Amino acid sequence: MADDKSEQIGFHKGALTTLAKEREALLQLVGTCEQLMQMHLKGLKDLGIDLQAEAQKAAPASKKKLDEALED
């Protein structure tokens, strides 16, 4: 019985260690993705594209589509 408990403890500790490493890798990937997005946003801004204004223009159209989908 004690051996079974020790195996379960080992299993859970091993799983947590693996998941912690996976989370680290995921956070690194998210950080890299964020850096790339910021670079592209800056590039568009440098070219005179106002993404804030475009997002505001797109918002009413998106809301209208959502409202129509909810009515169906």
Question: Are 51 and 41 contacting, i.e. CB atoms less than 8 angstroms apart?
Answer: yes
Please give the mean pLDDT across all residues of the chain: 90
- Type of residue found at 19: L
Q: Extract the tokens encoding 2.
A: 């004690």
Q: What is the mean pLDDT of residues 20-46?
A: 97
Domain residues for the domain of 64 are: 2-71
Overall domain count for the chain? 1
**pLDDT value at 8 more than 70:** yes
pLDDT at 65: 73
